[in-house]
Structure 1
């Protein structure tokens, strides 16, 4: 027997583009919401073309679009056209959530600010995503996760080793984390609406999420507390929280925060029990003071075995570590499947995909279906919204709307 999903009956208008805001709408759709993707006729959402960006792995499958538009319905409306913008107003009157990340000046020109749309529907949840926030000197500055989330928050600087250039981020890495903040805000607003009967506006920014992600160092900075940049791996702050290369050329991350408890177990697990009583490494301060010396010893030890051997031994000793997977390893990670992070889809082009990073007992998310063709559902959605056949025909004739031919 199928179980009704928690957001069944909720209509979400996704009036956004790459990547955090559409990803938030995806998660709402996973749990039952009817997500209507509003796109520009002819061009569509620029996210449809992201697979061509140089930093994206190349595939015959347009996987960024398939992932960020799964299970959505596409409506092609020209919001610069008076009739197209008026059609959106009618959709807003019947909607529950409007998600947008258009730049603030664009929203003003398109009359897509909260103040513009709230009078149309007093139960509407207006969900806003910006690069740097909605107030302040940089409110109108364009921001991507690489610039607002990673660079501005200090993450890109603090992730590097001393003497090296700032670290780089991967495509949409901060966007997907930020998407979950927007989902949380929308859910809180829907709960608020249940209690009060009134809609509201919620917002988040890539900058705010980058700072939250970098919360330990950012909060320390607010108190004037700083660490020098990370020293090179060969002379770490702690040899027991460091990277080691194994004999087969793989790497593992060792992370032993309770050093005095875990040090004896490590010595036995690596076959060097004599280190446990070595005066040079008798306690945490001694090990920290001689971190380079201890790292050299551990380098030689870990180079003597394979990653699989060390994983077995460290796991048996109940020590905190992880193999540093190559991205090619992800597809075969049985634990990621068991954890529900990698799931089967209902999309023949993309048989497996990533699930939203949480589970809800008793309500499995909808299988990920194919992303829509541009304007594939324009006529269907307009009919549901109360447009007559003549009105739809006129919208099409005038170029204010467009219908697609399917995927």
Structure 2
């Protein structure tokens, strides 16, 4: 089947003020879908995650793995919008934009006239997604909030962990991740609605609300039954066999959620008699006799490896519990196109996980690398705001915009040192200096 070649959101422009995970993950998905994402970053350091701990692409002075995970395909504009000259550029960008994404605490952007109530009349078609911890209104709206705190407060932690242990947070920033995905859905819905109404709107998306909405059947278990759902570790309090099981060389996870699957599992393990055993013949009886069922199953499973059992259970919901290396080295990951190597402007080749969206006619474009800090500053404002070279140089001299010289980690300092050595007129009339860029 031939493809049109244009990603589904081609022609949509997004001005992105977000940092860390929820907002950046949202705008990365929008970028993959074809939107032009202009990432507005503080010239002095950029997105908070650029300074994150842990491995860095390109070595100690390179780019943080944390930043690289959530910022593929964007254009980085190092711009200080707290200054009037910076705000003027932001307004030029917003005049051509379809979507604005921000995750400041409510009230922060109002100080600079960049909150939705200030922008609505001026840009009536603008869709503004505001991500916050507790929403744009209410007594908690001024509180800061990070993912694990929301996991704790929403009840998520109370159902996660070993049966006799304390509630545990999910190691992945699951509330941020789900908020990002809901954000993409909300923005696409607002873009669709704009076709009929001709108007943009504000989307108020709170991490707290997302966490509560994600409780799913655990939330309804309490609301309808009145009891706290019980923690079950890797198992399930109302289903069996639904847990991790020991094999000859490690563990395999099996989620046998109904009677047919249990019948097929027993046959695959060579014990069809378990299906009619009074202790295991119904889900309720299997839950009541879970320790004995687990013992019998592991006696069989320990006779072979997790890889071989995965093949024998190919027709069942079962798979080996893998390390990160085992998971990402799996050939199927590459066959699905999920691993990509990006040519970063500053540090060279960087391996990352690509997009999981596969459209038959309008394929996503996840081929563009994450940007270096301010990589596109000398191109985006002049192209959109109509600034001349001298105007760009003057804004750079005032540190309203970032300085695009070789290394984002040292760009601003090098600009300042050049001005000190050669005087404030050094940049006047000079062409903008660009980093080497692959996209």
Q: What TM-score comes out, normalization by structure 2 length?
A: 0.83
Distance 1:234 1:356, change over 3 A: closer
Distance 1:271 1:45, change over 3 A: same
Deviation at 1:322, TM superposition (A): 2.3
Secondary structure of the residue aligned to 2:125 is: coil
Tell me how far apart the structure 1 counterparts of residues 86 and 217 of structure 2 sit (CA, whole Å): 47
Tell me how far apart the structure 2 counterparts of residues 222 and 115 of structure 1 sit (CA, whole Å): 37
Q: Aligned residue for 2:343?
A: 347
Between Structure 1 and Structure 2, the one with more helix by share is 1
| Pairing 1:42–2:41 present | no
| Pairing 1:174–2:175 present | yes
Q: Aligned residue for 1:383?
A: 382
Secondary structure of the residue aligned to 1:104 is: coil
Pairing 1:308-347 to 2, within 5 Å after superposition: 308-315=307-314, 318-340=315-337, 342-347=338-343
Tell me how far apart the structure 2 counterparts of residues 188 and 382 of structure 1 sit (CA, whole Å): 29
Tell me how far apart the structure 2 counterparts of residues 202 and 308 of structure 1 sit (CA, whole Å): 46
| Contact 1:3-1:363 at 8 Å conserved across structures | yes
Deviation at 1:111, TM superposition (A): 2.7
Q: Aligned residue for 1:367?
A: 366
| Contact 2:4-2:361 at 8 Å conserved across structures | no
Tell me how far apart the structure 2 counterparts of residues 196 and 235 of structure 1 sit (CA, whole Å): 46
Distance 1:107 1:303, change over 3 A: same
| Pairing 1:71–2:73 present | yes
Pairing 1:16-27 to 2, within 5 Å after superposition: 16-27=18-29
Larger deviation: 36-45 or 269-278? 269-278
Tell me how far apart the structure 1 counterparts of residues 37 and 229 of structure 2 sit (CA, whole Å): 47
1:90-123 alpha-carbon deviations (Å, 9 max, x no partner): 2111211111001113223233310122233111
Structure 2, unpaired ranges of 5+: 406-434
Pairing 1:2-21 to 2, within 5 Å after superposition: 3-21=5-23
Q: Aligned residue for 1:358?
A: 357
Q: Aligned residue for 1:395?
A: 395
| Contact 2:247-2:305 at 8 Å conserved across structures | yes
| Pairing 1:205–2:206 present | yes
1:50-78 alpha-carbon deviations (Å, 9 max, x no partner): 2x1xxx56664633222322221111211
Distance 1:294 1:136, change over 3 A: same
| Contact 2:357-2:364 at 8 Å conserved across structures | no
Q: Aligned residue for 1:136?
A: 138
| Contact 1:302-1:310 at 8 Å conserved across structures | yes
Deviation at 1:185, TM superposition (A): 0.8
Tell me how far apart the structure 1 counterparts of residues 162 and 117 of structure 2 sit (CA, whole Å): 46
Secondary structure of the residue aligned to 2:120 is: helix
Q: Aligned residue for 1:156?
A: 157
Q: Aligned residue for 1:114?
A: 116
Aligned length: 397
What's the Cα RMSD here? Answer: 2.5
Larger deviation: 58-67 or 265-274? 58-67
Tell me how far apart the structure 1 counterparts of residues 158 and 316 of structure 2 sit (CA, whole Å): 30
Q: Aligned residue for 1:219?
A: 220
Distance 1:178 1:75, change over 3 A: same
Distance 1:176 1:283, change over 3 A: closer
Tell me how far apart the structure 1 counterparts of residues 281 and 127 of structure 2 sit (CA, whole Å): 59
Tell me how far apart the structure 1 counterparts of residues 281 and 137 of structure 2 sit (CA, whole Å): 54
Secondary structure of the residue aligned to 2:69 is: helix
Q: Aligned residue for 2:83?
A: 81
Larger deviation: 344-353 or 26-35? 344-353
1:237-262 alpha-carbon deviations (Å, 9 max, x no partner): 544112211111x2122211212x23
Secondary structure of the residue aligned to 2:267 is: helix
Deviation at 1:226, TM superposition (A): 2.6
Distance 1:147 1:74, change over 3 A: same
Secondary structure of the residue aligned to 2:25 is: helix
1:257-289 alpha-carbon deviations (Å, 9 max, x no partner): 212x23333222212234344343344443333
Q: Aligned residue for 2:274?
A: 275
